[in-house]
Amino acid sequence: MNKNAWTAICSAVVMIWAAGDVRAQFAKVEDAIKYRQSVMSVLGTHFTRLGAMVRGETPFVREAFEENASLVATLLKLPWEAFQVAGSDKASALRPEALSQKEDFLKLARANQDEVAKLLAAAKAGELSGIRSAFGAAGASCKACHDSYRRK
């Protein structure tokens, strides 16, 4: 057997192992959907609080801003494998392309985590204009994924 064939077999084995691993985290497809929707819902609540402070709808308190940004950053570590469970595009707002274009989906997830990390750094620095622009960039990177991979 030539080297290319071995490479193909090895990567197929790795892919099957990886897929099995993701599925093993959740007993049922519905569990994966419920898990990720819960995470998104909670992080959405904290992100909305940030937005209210940025827009001046609630008083800007630096410590509270940092705490909420930190929670969003932590929560963003959780949901991504739950988005990769086969069949979970049914009965949810996940578009099937998120499963067939997994690399792109995960790229948008990482970009979002990077922007939220910058937002947290800006919150620590405490300068409102820096916080405002970092919040805008973070929000845009949430939206970038929703536009491509979330059903309206």
Q: Which residues bind ligand HEC (CB under 6 A)?
A: 33, 36-37, 40-41, 43-44, 47, 72, 92-94, 98, 105, 108-109, 112, 116, 142, 145-146, 149-150
Tell me the closest approach of the beta carbon of residue 45 to ligand HEC, in angstroms: 8
In the bound state with ligand HEC, the residue whose beta carbon lies nearer, of 62 and 150, is: 150
Single out the residue of 30, 51, 16 nearest to residue 131, CA to CA: 51
In the bound state with ligand HEC, the residue whose beta carbon lies nearer, of 107 and 124, is: 107
Tell me the closest approach of the beta carbon of residue 144 to ligand HEC, in angstroms: 7
DSSP 17-58: HHHHHHHHT-SSHHHHHHHHHHHHHHHHHHHHHHHHHHTTSS
Tell me the closest approach of the beta carbon of residue 2 to ligand HEC, in angstroms: 38
Q: Tell how many helices (H) and how many strands (E) occur in the chain.
A: 6, 0
| CA–CA distance, 111 with 98 (Å, rounded to integer) | 15
